[in-house]
């Protein structure tokens, strides 16, 4: 039987941690395959074709191209993070909106969770390494533009830069665009959740999603080249909020007393399969993952797919197959430390590029890719576990000093 654990204050849902683990592994694999492809002639647009299933005739073996191309969809892990964030944070805000000092507590707790590790990472990248080593000479352009990262405006850096996001130095912190979007989003969002009625809030969410679609249609018609360029599409940050909003809508819907958990699960299954079918159809029609069609159909479908997965993870009976997979200790552990993993893994990919280039000369490229990806994951896990043990978990204990127990109604 489905359940409503998400309505119990303070209860951790292991399946959602497992979903975080899945999301960060998708993103990590995506970044590795984008960087470690020496010796492989891969279509940069990740074109999908039947021929990819049997190799390209260059001796790389069965499915090598398809493996790379499939990894091109790993960026969807970011959208899954957005849906999770919108669902969890909006849920917290809804549950505490009538309690005194709820907004103060929210910002205090979020600062404890987000800022220390983020700013420590920037300090190491931009102060410690350039001061005490010569590695800083590999990314002087990033150092010159570091102000964007310190102020959570990395998405604006991408917008004003003439360099693509896969420029070597830019890959160090290009992934911070998603963190910038979240922080900008949550500057205003808590006030909207608190001040608006449930009906007005839902209408606003539907309006935001519709606005996203309208803006994407405009760009698809008037500037299709802008949409298919990777660095420009992330610069259009104002059309990347729909996954956060989808998670927020889910948080409102599952708290409706008239909606049972079984009803949520049934609807989520329908949306899941419909979203998978829609995304697969647009890929088959367009022939590749990144096209203007993706921005008209793919992003809204991603948001719906992510919402369906979050709903199933939060509401399904813990004895279901999906729940058992997501409750696996390995996935849950990776999900717990996913924030630090997300911060550091592209930097490790960048640092290990010379080692990969040397390895790719003596090993089949796919073997070199897998070995280097495992190395990146291993080192990133070690750093993230240390961060969680030494810094993040001790700081999170300070949350207990801010309470929102008193009802203000």
Residues facing residue 99 across a β-bridge: 407
Distance CA 354, CA 36 (A): 10
How would residue 40 be classed by pLDDT, with cut points 50, 70 and 90?
Answer: very low
DSSP 93: H
Secondary structure class of 160 (helix, strand, coil)? helix
Distance CA 59, CA 249 (A): 49
Secondary structure class of 168 (helix, strand, coil)? coil
Nearest to 240 by CA among 11, 404, 76, 409: 76
Is 407 a member of any domain? no
Residue 22 confidence (pLDDT) above 80 = yes
Query: Which of these ranges, 6-10, 173-177, 264-268, 358-362, has the smallest mean pLDDT?
Result: 6-10
The distance between the two most distant Cα atoms of the chain, rounded to a whole number of Å, is: 70
How would residue 245 be classed by pLDDT, with cut points 50, 70 and 90?
Answer: very high
How would residue 299 be classed by pLDDT, with cut points 50, 70 and 90?
Answer: confident
Query: Which of these ranges, 34-38, 51-55, 141-145, 371-375, has the smallest mean pLDDT?
Result: 51-55
Is 405 a member of any domain? no
The three-state DSSP-derived secondary structure of 249-298 is: HHHHHHCCCCCCHHHHHHHHHHHHHHHHHHHHHHHHHHCECCCHHHHHHH
- Per-residue pLDDT reduced to its tens digit, 388-400: 999 999 998 887 7
The three-state DSSP-derived secondary structure of 300-359 is: HHHHHHHHHHHHHHHHCCCCCHHHHHHCCHHHHHHHHCHHHHHHHHHHHHHHCHHHHHHH
- For the four alpha carbons of 283, 313, 239 and 77, in that order, the dihedral sign comes to negative
- Per-residue pLDDT reduced to its tens digit, 74-108: 888 999 999 999 999 999 999 888 876 788 889 99
Copy the structure tokens of residue 297.
Answer: 């159909």
Proportion of the chain above pLDDT 90, given as a percent: 42
DSSP 162: S
How would residue 295 be classed by pLDDT, with cut points 50, 70 and 90?
Answer: low
Proportion of the chain above pLDDT 70, given as a percent: 75
pLDDT at 62: 43
pTM over 0.85: yes
Residue 244 confidence (pLDDT) above 90 = yes
- Residue 385 CB: number of other CB atoms within 10 A? 15
- Per-residue pLDDT reduced to its tens digit, 103-162: 888 999 999 999 999 999 999 999 998 888 887 777 777 888 899 999 998 888 776 665
| Vertex 268 angle, CA 266 and 271, to 5° | 115
Residue 319 confidence (pLDDT) above 50 = yes
**Radius of gyration in angstroms for the set of CA atoms belonging to the chain, rounded to a whole number:** 21
How would residue 230 be classed by pLDDT, with cut points 50, 70 and 90?
Answer: very low
Average pLDDT of the residues in 58-80: 65
pLDDT at 191: 93
36 versus 229: which is more confidently predicted?
Answer: 36
Helix 365-387 to helix 14-35 angle, to the nearest 10 degrees? 140
Residue 47 confidence (pLDDT) above 60 = no
Is 368 a member of any domain? yes
Count up the domains in the chain and report the number.
1
Q: Which domain holds residue 272?
A: 5-398
pLDDT at 61: 46
Is 409 a member of any domain? no
Is 404 a member of any domain? no
Give 109: exposed, middle or buried? Use CB within 10 Å, 0-12, 13-18, 19+: middle
Residue 257 confidence (pLDDT) above 50 = yes
Is 406 a member of any domain? no
Residue 206 confidence (pLDDT) above 90 = yes
pLDDT at 67: 60
Is 403 a member of any domain? no
Calculate the dihedral angle through the C-alpha atoms of 226, 231, 235, 237, rounding to the nearest 10 degrees: 100
Distance CA 196, CA 398 (A): 30
Is 47 a member of any domain? yes
Secondary structure class of 227 (helix, strand, coil)? helix
Query: Which of these ranges, 146-155, 180-189, 202-211, 293-302, has the smallest mean pLDDT?
Result: 293-302
pLDDT at 42: 41
pLDDT at 60: 46
The average confidence (pLDDT) of the chain is 80
Residues facing residue 407 across a β-bridge: 99
Residue 345 confidence (pLDDT) above 70 = yes
Residue 224 confidence (pLDDT) above 80 = no
């Amino acid at each position: 039987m489905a359940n409503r654990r998400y309505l119990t204050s303070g209860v951790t849902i292991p399946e959602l941690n497992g979903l975080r683990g899945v999301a960060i592994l998708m993103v990590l694999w995506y970044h590795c395959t984008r960087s470690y492809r020496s010796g492989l002639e891969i279509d940069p647009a990740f074109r999908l074709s039947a021929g990819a299933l049997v190799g390209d005739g260059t001796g790389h073996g069965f499915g090598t191209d398809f493996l790379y191309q499939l990894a091109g969809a790993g960026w969807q892990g970011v959208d899954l993070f957005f849906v999770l964030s919108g669902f969890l944070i909006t849920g917290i805000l809804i549950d505490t909106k009538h309690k005194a000092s709820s907004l103060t507590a929210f910002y205090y707790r979020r600062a404890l969770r987000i800022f220390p590790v983020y700013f420590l990472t920037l300090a190491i990248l931009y102060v410690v390494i350039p001061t005490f080593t010569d590695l800083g000479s590999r990314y002087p352009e990033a150092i010159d533009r570091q102000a964007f990262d310190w102020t959570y405006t990395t998405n604006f850096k991408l917008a004003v830069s003439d360099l693509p996001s896969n420029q070597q130095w830019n890959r160090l912190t290009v992934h911070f665009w998603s963190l910038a979007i979240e922080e900008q989003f949550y500057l205003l969002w808590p006030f909207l959740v608190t001040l608006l009625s449930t009906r007005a809030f839902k209408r606003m969410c539907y309006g935001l999603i519709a606005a996203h679609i309208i803006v994407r249609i405009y760009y698809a018609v008037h500037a299709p080249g802008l949409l298919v360029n990777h660095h420009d599409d992330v610069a259009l940050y104002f059309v990347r909020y729909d996954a956060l909003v989808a998670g927020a809508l889910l948080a409102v819907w599952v708290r409706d007393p008239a909606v049972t958990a079984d009803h949520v699960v049934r609807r989520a299954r329908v949306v899941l399969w419909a979203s998978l079918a829609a995304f697969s159809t647009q890929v088959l029609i367009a022939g590749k993952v990144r096209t203007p069609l993706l921005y008209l159909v793919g992003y809204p479908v991603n948001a719906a797919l992510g919402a369906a997965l979050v709903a199933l993870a939060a509401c399904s009976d813990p004895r279901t197959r999906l729940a058992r997979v997501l409750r696996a200790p390995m996935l849950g552990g990776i999900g717990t430390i996913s924030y630090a993993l997300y911060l550091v893994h592209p930097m490790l990919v960048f640092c290990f590029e010379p080692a990969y280039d040397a390895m790719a000369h003596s090993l089949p490229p796919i073997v070199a890719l897998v070995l280097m990806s495992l190395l990146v994951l291993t080192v990133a896990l070690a750093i993230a576990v240390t961060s969680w043990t030494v810094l993040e978990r001790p700081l999170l204990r300070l949350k207990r000093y801010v309470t929102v127990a008193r009802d203000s109604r």
